[in-house]
Amino acid sequence: MKRLAHCVMVAGTASDVGKSVIATALCRVLADEGFAVAPFKAQNMSLNAAVAQDGEIGRAQAAQAEAARVAPRVDMNPVLLKPEGARRSQVVVLGRSSGSKDARDYWRTRGALWPVVGGALRRLREEFAVVVIEGAGSFAELNLARTDLANQRLARAADARVLLVGDIERGGVFAQLLGTLDLLAERDRARVRGLLVNKFRGDPALFADGARILARRGRVPVLGVLPHEDGLGVPAEDSLGVRSVARQGATDVCVIRLPHISNFDEFAPLVEAGASVRYAATAAEIGSPDLLVVPGSKTTIADLEWLRRGGIGARLRALADAGVPVLGICGGFQMLGESLTDPDGVEGPAATVRGLALLPARTSFTRVKRTVRVTGEVAAGWLDIPAVPVEGYEIHLGTTAVSGVAFGSIAADGEARHADGAVDAQRLVAGTYVHGLFEHAPFRDAVLGALARRRGAAFAPSDGAADRYAALAAWLRASVDVPRMLRLLEIA
């Protein structure tokens, strides 16, 4: 019988301590060391999703697969929860939506998903040499342990060696790490082979005494004190990771921070290309940007009504009338249209609502969800940019009828090309269903170049796609003795 892959878990003391970043860096480090490595997160709660060839998964796992130099697939994230509002989530199992559940019902019945999780992990372990498992939330969720899908129970089932990550930036790192260790049963504590102190600002040597105290009291070595670093290029799991990046004199892109914003990580390439990207949750915060973006949303109609109540809708229309370019992506595209109809109550109570009427488009929601990767071309039109090739992915409910100029033409594998999106008569407002457009230099450079020309500024096109994961691996290697870490994790 073929030997199953060795499993390593990157666990945390809480959410947003850096598990995703460290797991991604570890995937690249192990790939560089010559291991066939795959990422895995049993259960992910995130509005950032990606489309693998066989279905929908969390964006972080897609990035981890890219770092590992393997194709993403649904086994890498068998359960994805996409919040839909107060105490409800869409449940995606092995890449396909299985409907919406309230939190109480899900937590009561999630034990039935344990065989799904186990099957997905086993398939990866049969194919790869190492599986890097990312935990969820805190490793010591005592109230959830009996039906846990992603932490201690999974570590036991996979016989995983564990790295425990704490976040020194939020304070209380001693309580975080030592408290978590103290809450673990001895069999689970024995799996923890190293501690990582993340997001340290300043000279890590100043924490040398702290590292010794942690190692002595926790009886676990501190393998590294990792510096705080902006722009590591790993998608955030949830909206806690939405952060503005402002640069003096740079192209100013303002993204509306919808209550149920989704796939907000797709604007990171604009930051990498030198633009400022701000997130605005009030009309006053919008200002007068060079580009205003209405992003995707998990609950489009509810977020549209939020736009109106807070005055953002009126501000958006005023800016469009004043000549500010506007781009709507997915749910944002639907909001920019004339109407949105939900006859079956897919998003909530059955309703028809007015859109912002900036595009000649009418959307009708259906229960069938489209999740596909697409390629195609953006037509010459919006902002007078030239026709450029594009690729990305669609994740949406509903179909949109457009009367007027399309944004572009796209197709998934096996499809004929079809029109996508819409552009207004002034060529300043556009909408599209395609996520991930800014990942690709031709489209990104065309847009940033057009915006720069409108400002009378110079623009330098991208000089090629940088390997963000090489920089991420270097960040980890600079602070961690990797050979020692691999020995403690029993990989080397």
Same domain, 422 and 312: yes
- State the Cα–Cα distance between residues 251 and 270, nearest whole angstrom: 9
Q: What is the pLDDT, as a whole number, of residue 106?
A: 82
Residue reference for tokens 């989530």: 89
Same domain, 171 and 303: no
Residue 158 in contact with residue 9, Cβ under 8 Å?
A: yes
Domain count, the chain: 2
Same domain, 78 and 189: yes
Torsional sign, CA 244, 248, 250, 254: positive
**Is there a domain that residue 49 lies in?**
yes
- State the Cα–Cα distance between residues 193 and 189, nearest whole angstrom: 9
- State the Cα–Cα distance between residues 489 and 190, nearest whole angstrom: 12
**Which CATH number goes with the domain that contains 266?**
3.40.50.880
Same domain, 109 and 206: yes
- State the Cα–Cα distance between residues 123 and 135, nearest whole angstrom: 19
**Is there a domain that residue 246 lies in?**
no
**pTM confidence score:** 0.80
- State the Cα–Cα distance between residues 74 and 94, nearest whole angstrom: 5
**Is there a domain that residue 238 lies in?**
no
- State the Cα–Cα distance between residues 448 and 236, nearest whole angstrom: 24
Q: Which of 361, 429, 347 is nearest to 396 (CA)?
A: 347
Q: What is the pLDDT, as a whole number, of residue 349?
A: 80
Please name every residue paired with 49 in a beta bridge, in sequence order, or none if there are none: 58
- State the Cα–Cα distance between residues 472 and 21, nearest whole angstrom: 8
What average pLDDT values come out for the chain (492 residues) when binned by 10 residues? 88 93 96 96 87 88 95 95 79 87 81 93 97 94 84 95 94 94 94 95 90 95 90 60 71 93 86 90 94 92 93 95 95 94 82 92 88 87 91 88 90 86 93 92 92 88 73 94 94 82
- State the Cα–Cα distance between residues 182 and 14, nearest whole angstrom: 15
Angle CA(271)–CA(376)–CA(467) in degrees, nearest 5?
A: 35
Same domain, 304 and 220: no
Q: What is the pLDDT, as a whole number, of residue 466?
A: 64
**Is there a domain that residue 244 lies in?**
no
Phi, psi of 248 (to 5 degrees): -60, 125
**Is there a domain that residue 243 lies in?**
no
The domain of 291 spans 252-455
**Which CATH number goes with the domain that contains 199?**
3.40.50.300
Cα torsion through 370, 371, 377, 381, rounded to 10: 50
The structure tokens listed for 451 are: 């915006």
Q: Which residues are catalytic?
A: 330, 435
Phi, psi of 293 (to 5 degrees): -115, 130
Same domain, 104 and 54: yes
- State the Cα–Cα distance between residues 462 and 304, nearest whole angstrom: 35
Same domain, 35 and 66: yes
Residue reference for tokens 């002034």: 426
Question: Residue ranges of the alpha helices (H) in 56-113?
Answer: 59-67, 103-109
Which contiguous run of DSSP H or E holds residue 150?
none
Amino acid letter, 317: R
Same domain, 474 and 445: no
Q: Which of 310, 258, 320 is nearest to 284 (CA)?
A: 310
Same domain, 299 and 398: yes
Same domain, 321 and 259: yes
Same domain, 446 and 394: yes
Please name every residue paired with 368 in a beta bridge, in sequence order, or none if there are none: none
Amino acid letter, 285: E
**Is there a domain that residue 465 lies in?**
no
Same domain, 15 and 68: yes
